[in-house]
Chain A
Amino acid sequence: MRIRTVFFLSLLYAALIVLPHFLKYHQQDFLIFLTINILVVVSYRLVTLTGEWSLIHAVMMGVGAYTSALISKNFDISFWITLPLAGVMAGLVALLLSYPLFRMTQFYFLIGSFAAGEAIRLTWIQFIKPFGGTGGTSAIPSPELMNIDFLEPIPYFYLVLIVVSICVYLLYRIENSRIGLTLHAVHWKGVLAESVGVNTWNYRTLAFVIGSLFVGIAGALKVHYIGTVAPKQFDIGFMVFILIWVIVGGYRTFYGAIIGAVVLSILDEILRGVEQLRPAIYGATLIFFILYLPGGLESLPQKIRQKFRANRESAT
């Protein structure tokens, strides 16, 4: 790591550790959800690296959430065990689904993943035992560790920060490893990659399973804080938010999606006063970005620089 990166990161973490103490209660809540959402978008990025945009990521988050919630509630098993289990379960479901889903590409994959996700979500609604139906399941136990009260937002925020940091770091390493580079190759030069012996099917599956695993963990983190898990939390509406975050932030670099999630979540907080209008503003933002700034927010500095240079050149 370069010295500048180290400096920047330590500054960021110092700020993040101090920040919650200066916030109001609902702002602390907001910070926790934002941190979890960062893991959601970063894990989604891994899935999209191969060029296939799935519409099942939100439901995979739900698979992790339900797994952790139901196991810890019904079998009285500690959160520290159910958290990794949530990831494993989401990964397994993804592995199972990959057989039918990856027989499709592009349009078919999109619709297929939407259908599979919706079928899973409707299963949670239909089978009141054990999932709890439309209202979901509540009274999910919160984590226990020594005497820390994880019902309070600040300790839970630190927990989330640690878990998310580790996961995001792992995802970062995966993307920059040989596997990640191969995934890029599968996306941009799929046929060429196959011709040099890359099994594209396996790599697509790998990305899908790993992405789902991490988003499963994110789901568990979320519901153990709220205390309730319900099908509504993981519907197509939330999936669309994930898409919006990634697109508005920019999907060409690793940090683009994070920028999108942070900026739009803050916008979302500001719009809290005009609850009814919120979806429309989101929709308009999405359309604006895809039409006029397809590179997302991350491409903005470069765009502005280019503009300046062009102006200077035309002036001389």
Chain B
Amino acid sequence: MELLIQTVVNGLIQSGFYALAAIGLVLVFGVMRVVNFAHGELVMIGAYTIWFVHAQNGVPYLITVVLAILLVTAIGLLMERFLFRPMTGDPLGGLICSIGMLFILQVIATYVGGEGPSKQVPPPFEGTLIILDSVRIPYQRVFSIAVAICALGILWYFLTRTKFGWAVRAVSMDREAAALQGISTIRVSMIAIGVGAAMAGLAGALMAPLTNINPHMGHNVIIAAFIVTIVGGVGSLPGAVIASVLYALFHTFVTTYFSGTIATISGLVIMVLVLIVRPTGIMGHRVSE
């Protein structure tokens, strides 16, 4: 019973990371119709920033988190300007550009961190919250999930209550019609990738003290983000959040009771099944091409 509750709690906390990582993928695909394969690497760069600036050079954690977000957002904006914008209307070209970017970011990380074993960052928030006598949550995880929920809340407010948010949603529904209404699709694309990259940077920064940091950590992130995006429905943000929670719970359970690899295999199989049975996901609508 204790293990059960502990697993549920772990799964819920994990879902925060998945949601943050997947949101960017969904936003960029929705607005630009580009599958950003380098999205996992954006998360990785966020984590590396924490390792390099905070753990190696002693800058306070919270300041570094902001730094990581700014840095990753800048990378995202550069990618939009120099890769995705020239490739507008060519989804395959955009995808291939992002694969090229993936390699470049991995090499940069290798240069900064050097080869060798994965890096660890000591958790800046020490201690453990104990609830119900036996369920233990390190404060670092409490902090992460709280920040993730806040970030998602702000994003939700931004997308549904502000003019910019309406513009973003309008462009992801129908790019041409939105352009005809006088919405600058270029500016909306920049907002989408900026917000998406900021979320990825935040996810990486929050994850850093809780995971092994290496140049290839983006691979697992992108797999999880793909699964969440497809199951939730391509282009649907609420779907992505719901799917994050479901998938994180599922993955944590299978990992706890069987193994991590089996969890990922079954996740991928579920994703393929969703693609066959209900390609629109739980919340999505058909994306016209």
Binding site for B on A (CB under 8 A): 53, 100, 103-104, 106-108, 110-112, 114-116, 118-119, 122-123, 125-126, 236, 240, 243, 247, 276-277, 279-280, 282-287, 290-291, 294
Contact = CB atoms under 8 A, between A and B. Distances in A.
Nearest to A106: B289
Contacts of A110: 35, 95
Contacts of B91: 106-107
17 contacts: A104-B276, A107-B29, A108-B230, A110-B35, A111-B226, A111-B230, A112-B271, A115-B226, A115-B275, A118-B223, A118-B264, A240-B99, A282-B100, A283-B103, A287-B101, A291-B87, A291-B97
Contact of A119 (B87, B108, B259, B265): B265
A107 B233 CA distance: 13
B96 A247 contact: yes
Nearest to B29: A107
B208 interface: no
A126 B265 contact: yes
Nearest to A115: B268
Nearest to A112: B275
- 9 tightest Cβ-Cβ pairs between the two chains A and B: A283-B103, A280-B107, A283-B100, A286-B100, A287-B100, A279-B103, A119-B268, A126-B261, A115-B268
A104 B279 contact: yes
Contacts of A123: 265
Contact of A122 (B227, B261, B271): B261
Contact of B106 (A108, A118, A279): A279
B83 interface: yes
Majority-rule SS of A interface residues = helix
Contacts of B226: 111, 114-115
B220 to A, nearest CB: 11
A268 to B, nearest CB: 13
A308 B214 CA distance: 49
Interface residues on B, range: 35 or more
A100 B271 CA distance: 11
B31 to A, nearest CB: 14
Nearest to A134: B261
Contacts of A280: 103-104, 106-108
A277 B107 contact: yes
A283 B104 contact: yes
B268 A118 contact: yes
Contacts of B257: none
B229 to A, nearest CB: 8
A283 B259 contact: no
B272 A116 contact: yes
Q: Which of A125, A243, A291 lies at the interface centre, i.e. has the most chain B CB atoms within 10 A of its CB?
A: A291
Interface in B244-281: 259, 261-262, 264-265, 268-269, 271-273, 275-276, 279
Q: Which of A123, A283, A284 lies at the interface centre, i.e. has the most chain B CB atoms within 10 A of its CB?
A: A283
B92 A53 contact: yes
Given A111-B271, A287-B100, 5 more contacts: A103-B279, A115-B271, A277-B107, A280-B107, A290-B93
A104 B278 CA distance: 11
Q: Which of B83, B111, B261 lies at the interface centre, i.e. has the most chain A CB atoms within 10 A of its CB?
A: B261
A98 to B, nearest CB: 12
Contact of B275 (A103, A119, A285, A286): A103
B72 interface: no
Contacts of A247: 96
A116 B223 CA distance: 12
B110 interface: yes
B87 to A, nearest CB: 7
Contacts of A122: 261, 264-265, 268
Interface in B208-260: 219, 223, 226-227, 230, 234, 259
A291 B234 contact: no
Given A116-B268, A119-B269, A125-B261, A290 B96 contact: yes
